[in-house]
Each structure stands twice: as structure tokens, then as C-alpha cells.
Amino acid sequence: MITDPRVFRDDHLPRELKHREAEIEDLSHALDPALAGRPAADVLLAGPSGVGKTALARHTLGKLDQFATVAHTHIQCLGESTTDVLQAALDDLPGHSATDAASVDDLRVALREAVDQPAILVLDEADSLPETDVLDVLDDVPLVSFIAVVHDPQRWLSRAPDAVRRAVSGPIQLGRYGVDELSSILRARANVGLRPSVVSDDQLRGIADEVAGVARSGIQVLRAAAEVASERGHARIHDTDIEDAYERAQHRIRRSKLYSLTFHHHVLYGLVHEAGEVPAGELHDRYDAVGEQMYYGRERTPVGRRSRRNKLRKLVEYELVEAVGDSKSRVYRVVDESVTPSLDSGMCVESVESDDAGNTTSF
């Protein structure tokens, strides 16, 4: 059924990016100066999960390569520290002799020395950059510019250094795809990655509609549907295969997000999952009650309430937990009951599995 698995991977970049012409144009425009040896503009690229922010950046940089060689590199910022990010930039950009074990200041200096041509960094998942040190340094290296890929541009801007806030252009805002748009994208993937005529246009429209225009989800559903159909010995994809595929795909995506988080997050997720829906105060009480034994025998110890709020916020960002209401009336609940916690308040069995979907689970 699946003839080319590559086209269903998260990191697959199709030759043509459909329905993003205007955004490609905007981004190209911002990068234009680099073609003439001048620094490109810093750009903010915003939009919800899975609608092609990263693909847009990669695609546009690829186009740039056709006209001139402009150094660029892609950096995954999620969970990385300031030095990790800067070190990655230094390693991937041309023209530097390997330096390691460097402080932020050393890296700043090294970058200034190494870069003598315009260079562009794609800062993926830049929401999670630990504070603004990275941006301060980049602001200090004139030839280096960045494309910051974020979910919430207002929040990002409010935390950015003043100089960056003034200079950055955009945000280029990507929305969810319409049903027509996404089904044509899915059709293109099916044509390349699946045997001919195994899925109908109506079925693709159904998928596009159900995933609410989130391309990543749509593509994973299509892939899972083909897998399910194969497992059942179907020659074509049946509607029932798609129904079951939806579960499988969403479940996979969510589960790998959960696994990428720390033990603290797992404890809190487990408590919310167990309760179904729980007011903030009660959640904290439960944490206090079972915390000691949950953490027993681990290198980590229970955290205070303020830190828990940060963990919970992360769970909300990852769309694993929903927070309804503000302040006093805040209630937490899990988004998908079927994503079961890796531990419960009794035993602490944690099985760490790799993401078998072959995806870099970003969000």
C-alpha cells in the first residue's frame, strides 16, 4: 500500500509548497538582502502546530540557494539551552575552527569572528528559548539573522529584547488550511507515496475536515490509514480504516509529546488523568499527598507549587492538558483520555519508548 514512506515523514519537504504563495513571497522578500551580501531581516514566523511553519522556512531557504549560496542552518531550540543553540549555530555555519566548552560570551565572540557572509538561522520552536540570551547575542552579530518559528508571536515579542522587538519583521502568520487546500496537499502525497487509486478524493476531504486544517495531522492520518488498510488486507483504504487511523495518528503524536517531557510533567499528567477533571487547588493537594512516594527512589524530588504551574502550562502548550477558566476557577483536564500516563500514583513504572512514528515531534 505504501510505496514511499519518506513522503509521510514529518521532515519530508515536497518540491512544491501548495497554498502558501503569499507567505513564501513575504519571507523571500525579507531574506532578499542576503543575496546582495547584506544581512537579511529578522523574521517572526507564527502559527499553530503542524501547519507548515518549518516547511515554509526550509522551502524558502531552498529557493534562495538557487540564486546564491547563502549560509543557513536549522536549529531545534526545544529543550536546548542558550549555549546549545549558539554552539549549534557555530558548528553548522561555515568558516570556523572547532571550539568547544565555551561560555555565552566566548560564543558571541566566536560567532562574530567566524561569520563574514550573511547567514540565516532558523530557530525552530523558538517559543521555548530560555530567556533572551540567544537573541541578545544574535543581535550583536550583524551578519547573522534569524527566522524565529513560534506559536504565539505576541508572547514571544513581549519577552524579546527591545532591540529585537523593534527590528523584527512580520509576523508572517500561517493559518490552518482550508478543506480544499489540505485535501489537495494530501492528494499530492498520496500520489507519490501510495499505490494508485487506493484513496478517494472524498476520503481525503473527510480527513482534511476532521483534522481541522492541520497538515501534519492530516498526513499522519493518511499514513496510518494506509497502514491499517494493509494490516487488514484491504486493496484500497476503507472508510473504517480512516476512522481507526485518526485515533492511531493523534495518539502517536500526543504520546510522543508526552514522552519528551520530564518526570515532573509525567507526575502531574498522571494526576490530572486519574482525576479526569480537577480544580487547581485539589490537584496541588493530591500532588502533596502522593508526591513523596511517587518520587521515591528517583534523583528528582517533588517541586513547589510555582514550578508545578510552569509544568502545567507546558502540558497545556503541548495540548496534552486543557486549562479551563482563570485564577480561582481554573480547572485542569486531559485532552485525550486514551493517552495514558506512564505512571500512576501507585507504582512508578516508566517505560521510555522512542517515537516510532519517525517524527520529530514538535508542536
Candidate residues 159, 195, 232, 298; the one interacting with DNA per rule CB under 7 A? 159
Q: How many CA atoms lie within 13 A of 79 on its CB side?
A: 8
Please name every residue paired with 74 in a beta bridge, in sequence order, or none if there are none: 122
Nearest distance, CB of residue 272 and DNA, angstroms: 11
Nearest distance, CB of residue 257 and DNA, angstroms: 17
81 binds DNA (CB under 7 A): yes
Candidate residues 138, 268, 284, 348; the one interacting with DNA per rule CB under 7 A? 284
CB closer to DNA, 201 vs 350: 350
CB closer to DNA, 134 vs 147: 134
CB closer to DNA, 178 vs 325: 325
Query: Total number of residues binding DNA (CB under 7 A)?
Result: 35
The interface region with DNA, picked from 119-127, 145-153, 161-169, 308-316 by CB under 7 A, is: 308-316
309 binds DNA (CB under 7 A): yes
Q: How many CB atoms lie within 10 A of CB 154?
A: 9
83 binds DNA (CB under 7 A): yes
298 binds DNA (CB under 7 A): no
Cell numbers at 363, concatenated? 508542536
Candidate residues 32, 84, 209, 243; the one interacting with DNA per rule CB under 7 A? 84
The interface region with DNA, picked from 114-122, 165-173, 201-209, 273-281 by CB under 7 A, is: 273-281
195 binds DNA (CB under 7 A): no
CA distances for 60 relative to 82, 122, 170, 210, 359, angstroms = 26, 11, 15, 29, 22
Nearest distance, CB of residue 315 and DNA, angstroms: 11
Query: Cα separation of 61 and 167, whole Å?
Result: 20
CA distances for 135 relative to 87, 253, 254, 289, angstroms = 14, 30, 30, 41
Query: Cα separation of 143 and 54, whole Å?
Result: 22
Nearest distance, CB of residue 108 and DNA, angstroms: 9
Query: Cα separation of 288 and 292, whole Å?
Result: 8
Nearest distance, CB of residue 348 and DNA, angstroms: 17
Sign of CA dihedral 2, 6, 11, 17: negative
278: DSSP letter? E
Per CB under 7 A, contacts with DNA among 99-158 are 101, 103-105, 130, 133, 155
Nearest distance, CB of residue 2 and DNA, angstroms: 38
CB closer to DNA, 22 vs 352: 352
Query: Cα separation of 251 and 254, whole Å?
Result: 5
Q: 193 with 7: CB under 8 angstroms?
A: yes
Q: How many CB atoms lie within 10 A of CB 72?
A: 25
Candidate residues 310, 324, 338, 350; the one interacting with DNA per rule CB under 7 A? 310
Query: Cα separation of 127 and 317, whole Å?
Result: 10
The interface region with DNA, picked from 20-28, 65-73, 98-106, 210-218 by CB under 7 A, is: 98-106
Nearest distance, CB of residue 58 and DNA, angstroms: 26
3-class secondary structure, 352: coil
Residue with cell 494526576: 271
Longest dimension (CA), the chain: 63
Candidate residues 312, 320, 334, 348; the one interacting with DNA per rule CB under 7 A? 312
Candidate residues 281, 324, 338, 358; the one interacting with DNA per rule CB under 7 A? 281
CB closer to DNA, 327 vs 351: 327
320 binds DNA (CB under 7 A): no
Q: How many CA atoms lie within 13 A of 11 on its CB side?
A: 8
First to last CA, the chain: 29
Site residues, DNA (CB under 7 A): 81-84, 101, 103-105, 130, 133, 155, 159, 262, 264, 279-281, 284, 300, 303-307, 309-310, 312-313, 323, 325-330
